A = this chain, B = another copy of it.
Amino acid sequence: MSVPTSIEFHPEFRSRSVSKLVLVFFLLPCLAWCADVLPSWNDGPTRRSIVEFVEKVTTEGSADFVPLPDRIAVFDNDGTLISEQPLYVQFAYAIDRVKELAPRHPEWRKKEPFKSALEGRLTTLESESHEKAFADLVFATCDEMTTTEIDQAATKWLATARNPKTGRLQTEMTFQPMRELLEYLRSKGFKTFIVSGAGIEFMRNYTEKIYGIPPEQVIGSNVKMRLESRNGSTELVLVPEMEFLNNRQGKPMGIYKHIGRRPIMAFGNSDGDFEMLQWTTSGESPRFGAIIHHDDAERETAYDRKSHIGRLDKALDEAPSRKWTVVSMKNDWKTIFSSQ
Interface residues in chain A, defined as those with a beta carbon under 8 Å from any beta carbon in chain B: 69, 72, 147, 191, 200, 204, 208, 214-218, 222, 225-227, 233-236, 249, 252-253, 256-261, 275, 278-279, 282
Contact = CB atoms under 8 A, between A and B. Distances in A.
Contact of A215 (B147, B227, B235, B261): B261
Contacts of A227: 249, 252-253, 275, 278-279
Nearest to A227: B249
Given A227-B252, A227-B275, A236-B252, A200 B282 contact: no
B253 A215 contact: no
A236 to B, nearest CB: 5
A69 B208 contact: yes
The binding surface of chain A is classed by DSSP as mixed
A259 B216 CA distance: 4
A213 to B, nearest CB: 11
A60 to B, nearest CB: 20
Contacts of A204: 260
A275 B278 CA distance: 38
Nearest to A72: B216
A273 to B, nearest CB: 13
Contact of A225 (B200, B256, B260, B282): B256
A257 B200 contact: yes
B191 A216 contact: yes
| Interface pairs A-B: 9 shortest CB-CB | A215-B260, A234-B282, A204-B260, A216-B259, A227-B249, A233-B282, A234-B279, A234-B278, A225-B253
Contacts of A258: 216, 258
* Residue of A200, A204, A236 with most chain B CB atoms under a 10 A cut-off: A236
Contacts of A218: 260
A5 to B, nearest CB: 40
